[in-house]
Amino acid sequence: MASIAKLSIRGVRSFSPNDDEQVIGFCFPLTIIVGANGCGKTTIIESLKYAVTGSLPPGNKSGQSFVHDPRSIGQSSVKASI
């Protein structure tokens, strides 16, 4: 059986492209993701799904609302990674 040890996220929705990557470690056999509304729980799950399957979350046009738009902060390059 395959398992994932950690996931690093930067520049995706609530995870800023200008900050360091946020690394989430997964424990065996179960990891529970909890937090207040709007803190990024769904973004973590969608990033994990994207990393494993390559499919973007539903309702996204080519990832436009999933990955930070660099034009919104006056930059010319995308600084996102999963």
Supply the pTM of this predicted model. 0.71
Per residue of the chain (82 residues), what is the pLDDT tens digit?
Answer: 788 899 888 877 767 767 778 899 999 888 999 999 988 898 888 888 888 888 877 776 655 666 665 665 566 666 666 6
- With contact defined as beta carbons under 8 Å apart, do 35 and 28 qualify? no
Q: Which residues contact 41 (CB under 8 A, 6 or more apart)?
A: 33, 34, 35
Closest alpha carbon to 23 in 4, 36, 42: 4
